[in-house]
């Protein structure tokens, strides 16, 4: 039977039909069962996007920190402090990336069609940092028992290779999205042997999209080779949540090129109210999102 064609769950049917079109049904199954997946650069169809995202990131980094990295492949020094959130409206290539249809299908699978991009951060990492990020969950403020659906989704553009442990990859604990926050020494299970927590290293070439349910336990290991790991992190949330980043002005040019930006970035919200509900047409989608986890 062709279930997505039967119209029994219209919100889900749309997502599943897109998934079939883009050949990512197996990725959605990984996400549903294990909590994470990696979509290959070929499937993302973003071959030319990767170098442009890297270039834009290094440009904004230079502007924010005053530090220029001439060659990310060989750079082996210290990275300067920089504002890690608030990247989306800094360069049009970031907006181009969030219009990738494979990316959007996955964001919607996890947070519903009303899900929105709550923030964009950049992580740069050289072997100078000598730091293993403890295992944690990004589902801040969500008490246990956690819902069966994702409240947060992390869609990370891997802009450099994550092929070996030396690259300093993210580590993830498959299945942990169903539980609770890690406690005590559980947070160190990726750097010390642990009897029941078995983290794995994320693996994918530059240009992959790594996606995990935000509830999932993850951290990272230090980088031990020259060069800079470059990651663009996009966090999606459900419509009832508060965005991570402060609302910024979308320029008239950006709005003209991408009229869906206010919706995608979660600017079209019903809450908080001022004196009156200014946009009553926003009420129904929010209520529908409470009826159906894919809405």
Ligand X SMILES: O=C(O)CCC(=O)C(=O)O
Please give the residue ranges that form the binding site for ligand X (CB under 6 A): 123, 133, 138, 154, 156, 170, 218, 220, 233
Q: How far is CA 3 from CA 6, 21, 24, 197, in A?
A: 5, 15, 16, 36
- What letter does residue 243 receive in the DSSP assignment? P
Least CB distance from residue 218 to Fe ion, whole Å? 6
Q: Coil, strand, or helix at residue 116?
A: strand
Q: Scanning residues 137 to 176, which ones bind Fe ion (CB under 5 A)? A: 138
133 binds, among ligand X, Fe ion, none (CB under 5 to 8 A by kind): ligand X
CA 173, 179, 184 angle in degrees (round to 5)? 70
C-alpha dihedral sign at 67, 73, 78, 84: positive
Least CB distance from residue 43 to ligand X, whole Å? 21
The CA distance from 80 to 87, in Å, is 17
The CA distance from 172 to 165, in Å, is 13
Q: Coil, strand, or helix at residue 158?
A: strand
Specify the residue, 32 or 123, whose C-beta has the smaller distance to ligand X. 123
Least CB distance from residue 154 to Fe ion, whole Å? 7
Specify the residue, 93 or 123, whose C-beta has the smaller distance to Fe ion. 123
Interaction pattern, residues 80-99, with Fe ion; x per rule: CB under 5 A: --------------------
Q: Per CB under 5 A, does 30 bind Fe ion?
A: no
170 binds, among Fe ion, ligand X, none (CB under 5 to 8 A by kind): ligand X
Specify the residue, 22 or 87, whose C-beta has the smaller distance to ligand X. 87
213 binds, among ligand X, Fe ion, none (CB under 5 to 8 A by kind): none
18 binds, among Fe ion, ligand X, none (CB under 5 to 8 A by kind): none
The CA distance from 118 to 135, in Å, is 22
Alpha helices in the chain (DSSP H): 10-21, 25-34, 41-44, 49-65, 92-98, 101-111, 252-257, 261-264, 283-291
Least CB distance from residue 220 to ligand X, whole Å? 4
Specify the residue, 157 or 294, whose C-beta has the smaller distance to ligand X. 157
Specify the residue, 30 or 138, whose C-beta has the smaller distance to Fe ion. 138
Least CB distance from residue 233 to ligand X, whole Å? 4
As beta bridge partners, residue 152 has: 237
Interface ranges with Fe ion (CB under 5 A): 138
């Amino acid at each position: 039977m062709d279930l997505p064609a039967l119209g029994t769950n219209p919100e889900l049917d749309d997502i599943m039909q897109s998934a079939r079109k883009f050949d990512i049904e197996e990725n959605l199954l990984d996400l549903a069962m294990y909590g994470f997946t990696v979509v290959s650069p070929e499937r993302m169809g973003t071959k030319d996007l990767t170098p442009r995202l890297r270039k834009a990131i290094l440009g904004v980094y230079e502007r924010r920190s005053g530090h220029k990295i001439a060659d990310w492949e060989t750079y082996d020094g210290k990275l300067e402090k920089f504002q890690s959130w608030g990247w989306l409206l800094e360069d049009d290539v970031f907006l181009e990336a969030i219009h990738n249809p494979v990316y959007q299908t996955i964001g919607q699978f996890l947070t519903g069609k009303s899900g929105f991009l709550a923030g964009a951060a950049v992580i740069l990492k050289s072997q100078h940092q000598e730091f293993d990020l403890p295992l944690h969950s990004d589902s801040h403020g969500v008490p246990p028992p956690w819902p069966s659906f994702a409240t947060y989704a992390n869609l990370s553009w891997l802009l450099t290779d994550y092929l070996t442990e030396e690259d300093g990859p993210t580590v993830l604990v498959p299945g942990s999205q169903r539980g609770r926050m890690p406690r005590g020494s559980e947070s160190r299970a990726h750097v010390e042997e642990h009897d029941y927590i078995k983290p794995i290293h994320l693996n994918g070439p530059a240009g992959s999209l790594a996606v995990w349910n935000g509830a999932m336990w993850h951290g990272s290991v230090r980088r031990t080779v020259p060069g800079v790991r470059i990651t663009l992190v996009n966090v999606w949330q459900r419509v009832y949540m508060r965005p991570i980043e402060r609302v910024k002005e979308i320029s008239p040019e950006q709005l003209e090129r991408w009229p869906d930006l206010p919706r995608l970035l979660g600017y079209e919200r019903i809450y908080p109210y001022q004196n009156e509900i200014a946009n009553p047409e926003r009420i129904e989608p929010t209520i529908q999102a409470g009826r159906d986890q894919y809405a």
